């Protein structure tokens, strides 16, 4: 009886842990974005821009938003490293896809890398946040323009949103993360992942 009550108590008052994958081609600004997230949401400052180098392995960032713990996985986007992305699909609750909105010459490459990821069955039903990054640059296109330009097919059944952000000045980041937490909490994929892993809630501290 005690363990049943304890389980119920933990379930109601614990923080859910979500895994969010941050993808995008090289130089889209993924690591800079992650470091900005840490600066916004945790007591420790993220790395300054000039100390960030191209990612070869995996960067991990942990933050807490409302009642959720989020673990971000930031992977390298260079062409030779993109084959590693799919190793993380199965465990991800959601996907953030960054695009350098000030670099139209690479939109096509970004689009095809995103479409390839979305075709993968291990990412089925994962909510998608597409970020038009580097809005601090005057030539950056808006989120709406990027949406029109990419003209992604087959997004209809997927929960998704385009948002304009800057990993330098932080605009748009809070709105994006709050939207993502809300959709992950209601997502069918979250239910499926919980059921598969025999979800044990992490007690809140």
Residues with catalytic roles: 78
| Smallest separation, CB 12 to ligand GTP (Å) | 38
Return the residue of 15, 27, 82, 174 that touches ligand GTP, per CB under 6 A.
27
Return the residue of 18, 20, 31, 164 that touches ligand GTP, per CB under 6 A.
31
Residue 112's binding partner among Mg ion, ligand GTP, none (Cβ under 5 to 8 angstroms by kind) is none
Integer Cα distance of 47 and 176 in angstroms: 21
| Smallest separation, CB 77 to ligand GTP (Å) | 3
**Taking the CB of residue 117, how many other CB atoms lie within 10 A of it?**
21
**Taking the CB of residue 25, how many other CB atoms lie within 10 A of it?**
24
Integer Cα distance of 87 and 175 in angstroms: 28
Compute the C-alpha angle 154/111/107, nearest 5°: 140
- What's the Cα-to-Cα distance from 82 to each of 113, 152, 158, 198, rounded to whole Å? 8, 20, 22, 30
Q: Does 172 bind ligand GTP (CB under 6 A)?
A: no
Return the residue of 36, 37, 55, 159 that touches Mg ion, per CB under 5 A.
55
Residues forming contacts to ligand GTP in the complex (CB under 6 A) are: 24, 26-32, 49, 52, 54-55, 76-78, 133-134, 136-137, 166-168
């Amino acid at each position: 009886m005690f363990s049943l009550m304890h389980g119920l108590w933990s379930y109601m008052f614990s923080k859910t842990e979500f895994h969010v994958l941050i993808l995008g081609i090289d130089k889209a600004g993924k690591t800079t974005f992650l470091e900005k997230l840490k600066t916004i949401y945790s007591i420790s400052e993220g790395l300054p821009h000039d100390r960030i180098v191209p990612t070869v392995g995996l960067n991990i960032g942990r933050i807490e938003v409302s009642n959720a713990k989020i673990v971000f996985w930031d992977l390298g986007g260079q062409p030779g490293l993109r084959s590693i992305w799919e190793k993380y699909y199965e465990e991800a609750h959601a996907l953030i896809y960054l695009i350098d909105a000030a670099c139209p010459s690479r939109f096509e490459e970004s689009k095809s890398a995103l479409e390839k990821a979305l075709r993968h069955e291990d990412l089925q039903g994962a909510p998608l946040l597409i970020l038009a990054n580097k809005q601090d640059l005057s030539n950056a296109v808006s989120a709406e323009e990027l949406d029109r330009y990419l003209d992604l097919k087959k997004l209809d059944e997927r929960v998704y949103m385009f948002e304009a952000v800057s990993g330098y000045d932080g605009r748009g980041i809070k709105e994006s993360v709050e939207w993502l937490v809300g959709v992950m909490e209601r997502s069918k994929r979250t239910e499926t992942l919980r059921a598969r892993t025999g979800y044990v809630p992490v007690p809140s501290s």
